[in-house]
Structure 1
Amino acid sequence: MNQPCRLVHGEVLGERYVIDRVIGEGGMSCVYLAEDLKLPGKMWAVKESLAEPGTQKAVQDEAQLLIKLSHPRLPRIVDYFHVQSTGYIYLVMDFIQGMNLEKYFRGFRGNVNPEFIMELTEQLLDVLEYLHNHEPQVIFRDLKPSNIMLTDQLEVRLIDFGIARSYKQESGEDTVKLGTVGFAAPEQYGGRQSDARSDLYGLGALLLYLSTNGKFSEWITGVERHIRGDLPRELVPVIRKLLQYAPEHRYQSAAEVRSALSRQQPVATNRAGSQPGKVAGTLVAAVLGASSGVGTTHSCIAFGHFLAANYGRVAVVEMSAKSTAFTRIQEIAEGGRLGAIRKFEVNGIHFWRQTARTEVISLLGGSYDAVVLDLGAYRDSDRIEEFLRADLPIVIGSGAEWRQHDVVTLARMLSRHPQPGRVYALPLAGEETIQEMKKLLGTNNVQSLPLQLDPFEVQDSSREAFSRLFQEYLPTVERKRRFRFRKS
């Protein structure tokens, strides 16, 4: 476009969206922040693009397609305008707070956490699989760092659909060659139509870029020498296959890539064939309450103290921004003082209050031997992904008859995500209740937790129960340590 943004502060688009300011600008578009007059306080991102003569119908069809897309990794596109007098088109979509991957990457000087790269890959495969399985199939075609937004919790959003298109079976090649040099597949520059495999090439280019500290995005002779040594070396053949010149020589679907990665990466969880107590990297136990008031935080603290007798460095992490439990504990532990630093120590264990996902990924990068994630109650938690990826996912529920429904309901919601190691722990539940819940939940991974008055001082009865709970993850030799909560 090479033209300045047309809209100015205070201008109203479509009698509804008040332009606040420009928040993004590129060669083909401009993005504004706008307030919704019908929903005061609601802010949207408005993307402005110039439609080429004769392409208005195609652009309108594409906009209608994008409006129908619905996926957590995609911003909602809620409105569309075509201003006939100027030829400009406008897409109104979710305003994503955070920063793009390019800025995030530069902030780390190209040396981002290895766990971050693998988590990013999984999220991108998730959204690409959705787009490619959509009817009609949608090809993103420009998977570059500046088009990937990261929320404050490091969750991915693809933000620029300016060159996304639906795949047309009868078309021989793309009419317009678009994409960012270095990240776009060879076929996007002519010869054949781009398809799902083009996006997979873009994924490979992005992975290579991140894996070489930003030095390479194309597979050339000797590039392996520049791939970071702290990444799984098994990742190299996956990237190499993604970057094959001919589409037929690449992986053919996002599902194939995911399958290849799961076969080649060391599995962090203790599944069949792994050795008890042998977890690659940090042991992660994620604790999710079936409802509020069942003792989720109480259990997390007790778990943390129990694990500290078996692991050197242990952290208990509060992942709910609304929770105040760790704030109260920090005030007691530090004599009423509460500074800006959200990490504090009690009896040799680190507590992290109101922790964002950004920090959690850093914590899992080797800072601790074991981490307990307090995810809070299920209905108040937006951290279900942490639960699903944990080595030991634990659901805390009530054994009371009138609250058993909460546990069963949560189990049904989680049934779409198979987790062989998921455990249901019911404080104070009797043996009869445990047997009944095993039948209702369809699993033997249900156990009772005894009365634990002080979570900072693990009693013998609790220690026995926790040993059963964590039995596959405990080192052979247990280092005995006793703790008392300092109330100074």
Structure 2
Amino acid sequence: MHHPSKLLIGLTIGGRYEIIRKIGEGGMSHVYLAEDLKLPGKLWAVKESVSQPNDYNSIRDEAQLLISLSHARLPRIVDFFPPDSEGYTYLVMDYIQGITLEKYFSGYRGRIPMDSILQLTDQLLEVLDYLHTHEPVIIFRDLKPSNIMLTEQLELRLIDFGIARNYKQEQTQDTVKLGTVGFAAPEQYGSGQSDARSDLYGLGALMLYLTTGGAFSEWTPKAEKSIRQDMPRKLIPVLRKLLQVAPEDRYGSAAEVRQELAAAVRQEFAPDHRHVRNITGRISTQVVAVMGASNGTGTTHTAIAISHFLARNHGKVALVEMNVRSPAFRRIQQIANRGLAPNGGNRKFEVQGVDYWRQTARAEVISLLSGSYNYVVIDLGTYRERERLEEFLRADVSVIVASGAEWRLQDVTDMAQNLSRYPQQKWMYFLPLAQSDVVQRLRKELNTSQLYSLPLHMDPFDKSEDMERALNRIFQGTLGETKRRRRFRFGLS
């Protein structure tokens, strides 16, 4: 039921919160952006809801409960105005800048990068575990794309607690049947009381929705066949169990699901997993994947330096550009062609013994692995280009390039945290010009010895004695000799 709003632009609530504009609405509420007059420039979201007189006490109780919550993926509730004579209540909470998962999904036309789906799922399980282990237990009950906000860094926030409720041990079923059709568990329609397993069903429905391009949110044989091929196959049984009709057939806790998902993903990307196909050429090919923790870290510069180091010392090298938005390889090709613009169809060119492959598709990379190259170095661009994350995970050596500047160290720690569910034994971190104390501190923080500072190297095409020594030390014992004829494993999906 829609209720008319009592708020107008310029109106002040509680003598403190001045309404700026409406930013959202639903069947039971309106949400406004407001400025804090006591803290000029500070913005809050004000949620206006209407309740019935017999609900006033429970509304107050729920508001006090929400105010007590403290979690990074939940907006803080900082103020509450109880029902007035007409039943209008107001919650003042954090204003979260970003877009809803619904709009994000629509922007990708239903094809969100698979790693983004895994990352968002892990974040949801993190906050659900907090709610379900809270005292008293809180059940969210409405996990749907429009109730999930994403920041620019794809950090997730749950934004609407309109139908969240306490779990009451003595109750056999919900007093009010609420939830979004397609995402709510069956017991939310009258067959029992919703509990933590109801939210886990909602999570499964959301995962299925995202991995079938929005076509399905309930488990059926047709839905299973529609799951996209790049979803790790080990996750399908997990998804099936989440979506069981009977609550007792589902997982018992968010922590249990999180462990299952992490184990499935690790197994999927383990080097000896049966899903990958062995490709053996007449000379073994090893892959070095280079990815930047953020923009402007020198990812392409580092990939070029590594490629020419390998070509000088270890064998035949292909340097592959998979960062399709970068103009770098096109500019290099133009210089190599003595100023002539590159021919659109000729994407291969040679510089000082290294074969450069401009804007290369995944299928072409696979063909290079069965050729005559000893090494294939892949420039993947920045971590935000998650479509290419699988190439990073499958490589023999995975290099993360990050800034050594103090104010940018958070970029690399955030990336490591976001990818913590993947095996990281073969990862290396390169921080150009980083100070020794920064290197030691980050090694401890990331729990790795494979983190290195790189010396100044103005021209990555030419040999620098300092860089040569550094790369020799870093790669010693890591890149095998070509005569060993080891097999390179690459996933085909």
Whether 1:313 aligns to 2:320 is yes
Whether 1:19 aligns to 2:19 is yes
RMSD: 4.4
Whether 1:364 aligns to 2:372 is no
- Is the 1:46–1:90 contact (alpha carbons within 8 Å) kept by the matching residues of 2? yes
- Is the 1:302–1:456 contact (alpha carbons within 8 Å) kept by the matching residues of 2? no
Correspondence for 1:465: 473
- Is the 1:283–1:371 contact (alpha carbons within 8 Å) kept by the matching residues of 2? yes
Correspondence for 1:158: 158
Correspondence for 2:416: 387
- Is the 1:200–1:251 contact (alpha carbons within 8 Å) kept by the matching residues of 2? yes
In the TM superposition, 1:432-443 aligns within 5 A as none
Give the letter for the 2:186 counterpart: P
Whether 1:196 aligns to 2:225 is no
Correspondence for 1:292: none
Q: Secondary structure at the match of 1:73?
A: coil
In the TM superposition, 1:324-339 aligns within 5 A as none
Correspondence for 1:55: 55
- Is the 1:284–1:371 contact (alpha carbons within 8 Å) kept by the matching residues of 2? yes
- Is the 1:147–1:159 contact (alpha carbons within 8 Å) kept by the matching residues of 2? yes
How far 1:198 moved relative to its partner? Answer: 0.9
TM-score by length of 2: 0.71
- Is the 2:290–2:392 contact (alpha carbons within 8 Å) kept by the matching residues of 1? no
How far 1:227 moved relative to its partner? Answer: 1.5
- Is the 2:139–2:165 contact (alpha carbons within 8 Å) kept by the matching residues of 1? yes
Closer, same or farther: CA 316–297 of 1 in aligned 2, 3 Å: farther
CA distance in 2, matches of 1:184, 1:89: 26
Correspondence for 2:250: 250
Closer, same or farther: CA 375–202 of 1 in aligned 2, 3 Å: farther
CA distance in 2, matches of 1:10, 1:475: 75
Q: Secondary structure at the match of 2:473?
A: helix
Q: Secondary structure at the match of 2:121?
A: helix
Correspondence for 2:85: 85
- Is the 1:304–1:314 contact (alpha carbons within 8 Å) kept by the matching residues of 2? no
Correspondence for 1:212: 212
Q: Secondary structure at the match of 1:15?
A: coil
Closer, same or farther: CA 36–202 of 1 in aligned 2, 3 Å: same
In the TM superposition, 1:297-308 aligns within 5 A as 297=297, 301-302=301-302, 305-306=305-306
CA distance in 2, matches of 1:18, 1:352: 46
How far 1:137 moved relative to its partner? Answer: 2.1
How far 1:283 moved relative to its partner? Answer: 4.0
Q: Secondary structure at the match of 1:364?
A: helix
Closer, same or farther: CA 454–268 of 1 in aligned 2, 3 Å: farther
Q: Secondary structure at the match of 1:32?
A: strand
CA distance in 2, matches of 1:82, 1:221: 48
Correspondence for 2:237: 237
Correspondence for 1:101: 101
Correspondence for 2:125: 125
Q: Secondary structure at the match of 2:385?
A: helix
Q: Secondary structure at the match of 1:58?
A: helix
CA distance in 2, matches of 1:247, 1:411: 44
Deviation per residue, 1:359-380 (Å, 9 max, x gap): 4324536699777442554654
Give the letter for the 2:416 counterpart: F
Deviation per residue, 1:43-87 (Å, 9 max, x gap): 111111112222222222222222222222222222111242231
Give the letter for the 1:227 counterpart: I
- Is the 2:402–2:432 contact (alpha carbons within 8 Å) kept by the matching residues of 1? no
Closer, same or farther: CA 70–393 of 1 in aligned 2, 3 Å: farther
Identity over aligned pairs, percent: 48
- Is the 1:300–1:372 contact (alpha carbons within 8 Å) kept by the matching residues of 2? no
How far 1:143 moved relative to its partner? Answer: 0.5
How far 1:3 moved relative to its partner? Answer: 1.4
- Is the 2:35–2:44 contact (alpha carbons within 8 Å) kept by the matching residues of 1? yes
How far 1:212 moved relative to its partner? Answer: 1.3
Whether 1:424 aligns to 2:451 is yes
Whether 1:149 aligns to 2:164 is no
How far 1:135 moved relative to its partner? Answer: 2.3
How far 1:133 moved relative to its partner? Answer: 2.1
CA distance in 1, matches of 2:49, 2:153: 30
Whether 1:262 aligns to 2:262 is yes
CA distance in 2, matches of 1:312, 1:331: 15
Correspondence for 2:365: none
Closer, same or farther: CA 225–158 of 1 in aligned 2, 3 Å: same
Correspondence for 2:186: 186
TM-score by length of 1: 0.72
CA distance in 2, matches of 1:197, 1:379: 42
Give the letter for the 2:386 counterpart: I
CA distance in 1, matches of 2:428, 2:392: 21
CA distance in 2, matches of 1:332, 1:223: 47
Correspondence for 2:376: none
CA distance in 1, matches of 2:118, 2:166: 28
Correspondence for 1:320: none
Give the letter for the 1:424 counterpart: L
CA distance in 2, matches of 1:269, 1:423: 20
Whether 1:177 aligns to 2:204 is no
CA distance in 2, matches of 1:473, 1:34: 64
Name the count of aligned residue pairs.
420
Q: Secondary structure at the match of 1:313?
A: strand
How far 1:191 moved relative to its partner? Answer: 3.3
Closer, same or farther: CA 334–50 of 1 in aligned 2, 3 Å: farther
CA distance in 2, matches of 1:273, 1:210: 25
How far 1:186 moved relative to its partner? Answer: 1.1
- Is the 2:267–2:273 contact (alpha carbons within 8 Å) kept by the matching residues of 1? no
Closer, same or farther: CA 11–262 of 1 in aligned 2, 3 Å: same
Deviation per residue, 1:173-198 (Å, 9 max, x gap): 22211111110111112232211111
Closer, same or farther: CA 381–137 of 1 in aligned 2, 3 Å: farther
Closer, same or farther: CA 217–299 of 1 in aligned 2, 3 Å: closer
CA distance in 1, matches of 2:14, 2:481: 59
Task: Structure 1: give runs of 5+ residues left out of the alignment.
Answer: 289-295, 318-325, 336-346, 428-448, 479-488
